[in-house]
Chain A
Amino acid sequence: MEYRSQKIAYWYFAIALLLFTLQVVMGLWLAYSYSFTVPQSIVDVFPFSTARAMHTNLLVLWMLLGFMGGTYYIVPEETRSEIYSAKLAWIQLIALVATGVAALVGFLFGWTQGRPLLEIPTTLDIVVVIGALIFLFNVGMTMFKAKRWTAIQGTLLGGLLFLALLYLFGIPFYDNEVIDWYYWWWVIHLWVEGAWELVTAAIFAFVLMKLTGVDRQVVEKWLYVEIGLFLFTGIVGTGHHYYWIGAPRYWLWFGGIFSALEPLPILLMLIDTMHHVKQRRLEIKNQLTWTIAIGCAVMHMIGAGVWGFMHTLPQINYYTHGSQVTVSHGHLAFFGAYALLNIMVFYYAMPKIKGIEVYDPSRGKVAFWTMCTAMMLMGLSFGIAGVVQTYVERVLGMGYMVAQSYMRLWLGVTFVLGLCFFAGLLIMVADLLFLRPARKAAA
């Protein structure tokens, strides 16, 4: 850590870890509800829908806090100056966390906007927007004052601006269900396959450059090509959500073709990462951080690239749309592209903030491999359930619950794997919050 204000990032990370844990607890409840009967008396007061709203909102909140913390850590080093206002960063954190708590408690009492992932009511949306504005102002001012522009900074700020702007499309009430979903995807798709990719590509490039010592010019050149490809394929690629909503038929073509190209930038990122390893000029001190970075690139490719590609073609999507295949893709892609990226940043920045140059990786290693293995297998068990559902319900035309009864076993397997993932997560959280310096090798 070179700048005092980088310390703020620590609390963003710590709270993100707490929320991540809560998210997985809710996820376990959801998986349990899928394979076991929850009695009517419990369902009446705590329905699946409430738990699901919590699971997904916690996901969004912890990941955004992770990105914001990451930004507060990176920007001082990139601009070579302190954050414009540490106080604003604190106010923003408190505002966002308070909103999160209010939203979660509100869900329990049915205070909801009732649209998946965008459940939080308009009143709270306004607080979120204020929080985002404070954040953008703070980061923007730091950059303007420093007058030292880099491609990494530009991508980061551009991505964050884009992210905030898109959120606005999720706030209004739309009379027409078709138009509602049309703009719902402007938030969800253009976030995860647009704005978030920009933010994370910038963060990834930064960590890659710092870890390997590869020349900035080279890293930034590839960054431009990657984000250019991400946006080129990702923007029109939104069309793969417009196949069956009552939008014009040409979306089958635009969505199909552009999203078939979506794995390209991810593949480029993977190749580029491997290339930088070979070209590295620095000795890598914390091997685990590096392992996580590669894990992130690989899982990003599998979850978002391969799994996404698999059911994005209209001919396949007609049968798999809105089934557990989607769930499989969602879990692998979010974990690979965004959870691991955040975890990589945590392992990169948290030791530095604590002043530990080389940390003891033993617990982290166990946690990383447990989580990755469990999540990969979860992706497969969700996937099997999804294929069963697709065949029994969609192809054979049997009843919904008939299909569910065949899927029950695989959803039960997912629950058990979820428990393994949770164990890995607890080890990681404990490790990150109580980091130990590595013991010196015996002389």
Chain B
Amino acid sequence: MTKKTAFWIFLAGTLSSGILFLWLTWDTHQQVQALSHVDKLSDKVVAGKRAFEKYNCNDCHTILGFGAYYAPDLTKVVQRIGEDGIRFRIKDPGKALASSWRKMPNLKVSEAEIDNLVAFFTWVGNIDNGDWPPQDSKKRLSRSEEIMVAGAGVSPGAAVFQSRGCMNCHSLHGAGGTFGPALDTIGRKLSLEQIEHYIKNPKAVNTKALMPAQTTLSEKEFEEVAAFLANLK
């Protein structure tokens, strides 16, 4: 091989890859319209993106898997912890992460900015991105959820526990949040009645309790989830 041949190899390799790449870029632009739901990309969402960048959230958290790895991924954060969960954490991280060994700064984000951030996260959560991240995938129950469901039989209380946001703060077998205590053996400490009473109004039992009173559950759901928890021994 001569130097001239080598030069042509360089030129052909670079140009072919470059042209293919530019063509795919053009096509990606067309398809992203639908994949990211550009029709729902409102001013509020854009304002939320600006707030996200203003507070440098991305240098602790990842979003779509990019950024720093110091804190949870935010792609599906609305789905995972709900709008209220997001508000609570941003507004008062000291309180929200009081029992966590890793902290989040209080950046004094305004109410309006928090609203915009929630809109932004909601929009991001709906991007059609190949069902990533796996831990938030709806297609497959995570292993620990499977164990939980199997252990509880087909329990309606387990379903309430999973679907009504208890796991945003509490965990079972390591799955769930860390703000509240793990509930793996809660049935050993509290009776069914005590649990039901506590869920309805935590502050009546413990004035320092951080847990909000669960006002949105129906009477039947109270009974079911309390029965489920009382059996965890």
Check B112 for interface membership: any CB of A closer than 8 A. no
Write the nearest CB–CB distance from B76 to chain A, whole angstroms: 11
Chain B positions 79-113 with a Cβ under 8 Å from a chain A Cβ? 93-94, 100-107
- Interface secondary structure of A, over-half rule: helix
Query: Are B11 and A228 in contact, with the CB atoms below 8 A?
Result: yes
Query: Are B18 and A231 in contact, with the CB atoms below 8 A?
Result: yes
Query: Are B102 and A401 in contact, with the CB atoms below 8 A?
Result: yes
Query: Are A322 and B70 in contact, with the CB atoms below 8 A?
Result: no
Query: Are B28 and A52 in contact, with the CB atoms below 8 A?
Result: no
Query: Are B35 and A178 in contact, with the CB atoms below 8 A?
Result: yes
Stretch from A131-139, A237-245, A281-289 at the B interface: A237-245
In the complex the two chains form, what is the Cα distance from A182 to B30 in whole Å?
13
Q: How many residues on A have C-beta within 8 angstroms of the other chain's C-beta atoms?
A: 86
Q: Chain A contacts of B174 at CB under 8 A?
A: 392, 396, 398-399, 402
Contact of B10 among A52, A227, A244, A251 (CB under 8 A): A227
In the complex the two chains form, what is the Cα distance from A398 to B80 in whole Å?
12
Query: Are A402 and B59 in contact, with the CB atoms below 8 A?
Result: no
Q: Chain B contacts of A236 at CB under 8 A?
A: 17, 20-21, 24
Q: A33-B70, A53-B56, A318-B132 are in contact. Are A248 and B31 (CB under 8 A)?
A: yes
Which of A115, A119, A401 has its CB near the most chain B CB atoms (within 10 A)? A401
Chain B positions 1-49 with a Cβ under 8 Å from a chain A Cβ? 1-3, 6-7, 9-14, 16-18, 20-21, 24-25, 27-29, 31-32, 35-36, 38, 41, 46, 49
Q: Chain B contacts of A291 at CB under 8 A?
A: none
Check B57 for interface membership: any CB of A closer than 8 A. yes
Check A334 for interface membership: any CB of B closer than 8 A. no
User: What are the 7 A-B residue pairs with the smallest beta carbon separation, nearest first?
Assistant: A397-B142, A114-B53, A322-B65, A228-B10, A232-B13, A49-B59, A244-B132
* 14 further A-B pairs in the complex, CB-CB below 8 A; given A119-B56, A177-B63, A245-B127: A39-B103, A40-B103, A43-B104, A47-B105, A52-B59, A52-B60, A110-B56, A221-B6, A232-B16, A254-B20, A321-B133, A322-B62, A394-B135, A395-B143
Query: 9 interchain pairs (CB within 8 A)?
Result: A48-B60, A116-B68, A181-B66, A217-B3, A221-B2, A224-B10, A232-B16, A246-B127, A251-B24
